Every structure is written in C-alpha cells, then in structure tokens.
Amino acid sequence: MKILVTGGAGYIGSHTSVELLNKGYEIIVVDNLSNSKVEVLDRIRELTNRDFKFYRINLLNRGELDRVFKENKIDGVIHFAGLKAVGESVEKPLEYYHNNITGTLVLCDLMKEYGVKRLVFSSSATVYGNPERVPISEDFPLNTTNPYGSTKLMIERILEDLYISDREWGISLLRYFNPIGAHQSGRIGEDPNGIPNNLMPFITQVALGKLKRLSIFGNDYNTHDGTGVRDYIHVVDLAQGHLKALDKILEKPTLDIYNLGTGEGYSVLDMVVNFEKATGKKVDYTIVDRRPGDIDICYADPSKAERELGWKARRDIQDMCRDAWRWQINNPNGYE
C-alpha cells in the first residue's frame, strides 16, 4: 500500500511517516521544506531502516505534483502540508489562504484525476474558536478567529462538499488538540524557526538556557490557577491516530471527523511543574499580559475516535515532557 505524505518533513508528518513505515506501508514524501529541514528524511530512514522517495515540491505547482502521481501508483494521501503560525497568518492572510487552500485544491484535483480517493486531512481544534463549554465534541459549533483557523475550516467544508459530490471518496478530518513531545529515540522532534510561538518548545529552550525565562501569557483566566488550559497530546499518539483513520477510509468510502486529544486539560503552570518533575530541570517564568486571541480553556472529548477507530492516547504528560526534553538536549539546534 502506497501512501503520499504531503508535509512529511514537518513535525507531525515526520512522526507519522515513521509509524507508517513501521507498519509496512510504502510512503512518498512531498514537501517544499518551507518549514522543515531535509535532514529529517535521513532520520526517518535511520529509525525505520526503510527507504522512500522524496520530492521537494510546492503543492501549488500542479505540473510538478502531477509528476508524483504519474510516477507512483498512490493508494491514499495524508495531507499535512500547510502554513500553521496563527500570528503570521494575521499579518499575511493572502499567503495563508493561497498556500493552504489552493495547495489543497491542487492536490484534490490531481487525486480526482488519478482516481486516488482516500484522504486524511490535518485539521485543528482551532475550528471550535472559543468553545462555550468543555470537553469539546465534534458536533460543537464551528467558528474561527484568525486566517489560519479559517483556512482549516474552509478546507473542511471543501472536503465535505467533495464527498457529497462523489460518495466514493473516503475522507477523514482530524482535529488535533495541542501536539507536543517527540519520538522516544530523541532523533526526530519539533524544530521551530526562531523563537518558538508554542509553549512546549519555549519551555525546553528555557530549560536548555537558550532562552532566559518563559513568559506566561496571563494568570487571570477562568481556570483552576488562572493560566490557560489546553489538551496536550503526544505527537506519537497523534501519529498513530492517523494510521487508524487511514485504515478506516481504506476499508470503505466515508466522511469522518475526529477529535484527536487526550481529554485532559493542563494549565501553563501545570506544564511547568510537570516538566520540572519529569526532567529535573528548572524553568524560570514571569507572568505577562494575555496574548491576544488566546482562550481560557480547551480540551477534547476524544471518545468518538476511541469508539469508531479504536484509538486512544496512551502517553501521559510526563512522557510528553520527557520526550520533548530528550529531543531538545540531543539536538540543541534542531536539525542543523
């Protein structure tokens, strides 16, 4: 079985590629390396002892992507490629809409042309906006607050319409909560450009001494300790969720939507404490103003994925902190 992995050099795509290869799938990776490094591909090969084809291609380039479909008999696609920084999406909305939406349209058009009708898509809990209550289940109202989130919601709608137009498609929309951690080997992990936007890579860089202290964005949220609460999920659990989703759509046509989270919420302060406990490293912090657009509390009801896919996150918060730290100390400058 041959699976095309778009964005396979990225953080979640690389971990999912490892799981696919370990399960015996053949993969073809397409990535333009706009937010990743070519080195990750050899790490994937090293971890799995398997080889695969890589195309350095921008999804917006239809001609080049056509070549990938022409040269390979593809059975299904896992589509990670996209731009993902919320703040940047507010500054560069056209770039985000063009890259994420046009990229997906080009991909789907070629899939249709070549009769490849199996697609797993990376959506995000961001499509729930500021939810009225928690835990969040898949039937909650959808609403976005920034261009990045809007691209995810629009792509979900496009894929739903595609399924309505042709019930031979099998499409799985996976709404990720907050992926953190790394492969337990410490060989692949998250490698953000510049100063990290997200909490966990910021914490690991403070612990390493690359950054002075963590700024906690607000302690007056309506949560148990005033700091923001999120549903952090180990990236390997998340990757394994993709294989379950893929199995289901390869079996028969359907359109599915699943939350991939643990169902547990941790505050920023909980994360600092857990990280210190898991690693023995101290994380200095200071409380600063809220970050615009942040919400109080967000965690999943992941029971639908357990019921229908037989998938459940297995790794706990200590595993996530330990694995994130192992990746960081073994690769202080990421893949460089």
Distance, in Å, from the CA atom of 242 to the CA atom of 65, rounded to the nearest integer, reads 23
Closest CA to 48 of 29, 76, 70: 29
Report the alpha-carbon distance of residue 61 to residue 34 in Å, rounded. Answer: 14
Name which of ligand UD1, ligand NAD, none residue 240 binds, using a CB cut-off of 5 to 8 Å depending on partner kind.
none
Minimum CB–partner distance for residue 167 and ligand NAD (Å): 26
Helix (H, G, I), strand (E, B) or coil at 87: helix
Would you say 268 or 317 has its CB closer to ligand UD1?
A: 268
User: Binding to ligand NAD by residue 59, rule CB under 6 A?
Assistant: yes
Type of residue found at 80: F
Concatenated DSSP letters of 100-161 = IIIHHHHHHHHHHHTT--EEEEEEEGGGG-S-SSSSB-TTS----SSHHHHHHHHHHHHHHH
Is residue 11 within the footprint of ligand NAD (CB under 6 A)?
yes
Closest to ligand NAD by CB, 135 vs 181, is 181
Q: Which is nearer to ligand NAD, 124 or 205 (CB)?
A: 124
Task: Indicate the helix (H) or strand (E) that contains 69.
Answer: helix 62-71
92 binds ligand UD1 (CB under 6 A): no
Residue of 263, 249, 236 lying closest to 309 (CA atoms): 249
How far from 207 is each of 1, 198, 257, 265, 278, CA to CA, in Å? 42, 15, 37, 23, 12
Contact call for residues 11 and 191 (beta carbons, < 8 A):
yes
148 is catalytic: yes
One character per residue 52-81, x = contact with ligand UD1 (rule: CB under 6 A):
------------------------------
The full DSSP string for 223-241 is SSSSS-EE-EEEHHHHHHH
For residues 37 and 9, the answer to whether their CB atoms sit within 8 Å is yes
The residue of the chain with the least Cβ separation from ligand UD1 equals 228
The option from ligand NAD, ligand UD1, none interacting with 291 (CB < 5 to 8 A, set by class) reads ligand UD1
CB of 235 to ligand NAD, least distance (A): 8
Catalytic residue among 11, 148, 163, 299: 148
Q: Which of 99, 204, 274, 331 contacts ligand NAD by CB under 6 A?
A: 99
243 sits near ligand UD1 (criterion: CB under 6 A): no
32 touches ligand NAD by CB under 6 A: yes
Facing residues of 216 across strands?
A: 287
Q: Which is nearer to ligand UD1, 48 or 198 (CB)?
A: 198
Q: Give the 3-state secondary structure of residue 162.
A: helix
Q: Which is nearer to ligand NAD, 4 or 81 (CB)?
A: 81
Number of residues that bind ligand NAD (CB under 6 A): 27
Binding marks (x or -) toward ligand UD1, 125..144, rule CB under 6 A? xx------------------
Sole window of 78-86, 134-142, 272-280, 281-289 interacting with ligand NAD (rule: CB under 6 A): 78-86
Residues that bind ligand NAD (CB under 6 A): 7, 9-13, 31-36, 58-60, 80-84, 99, 103, 122, 124, 176, 178-179
Residues with active-site annotation: 148
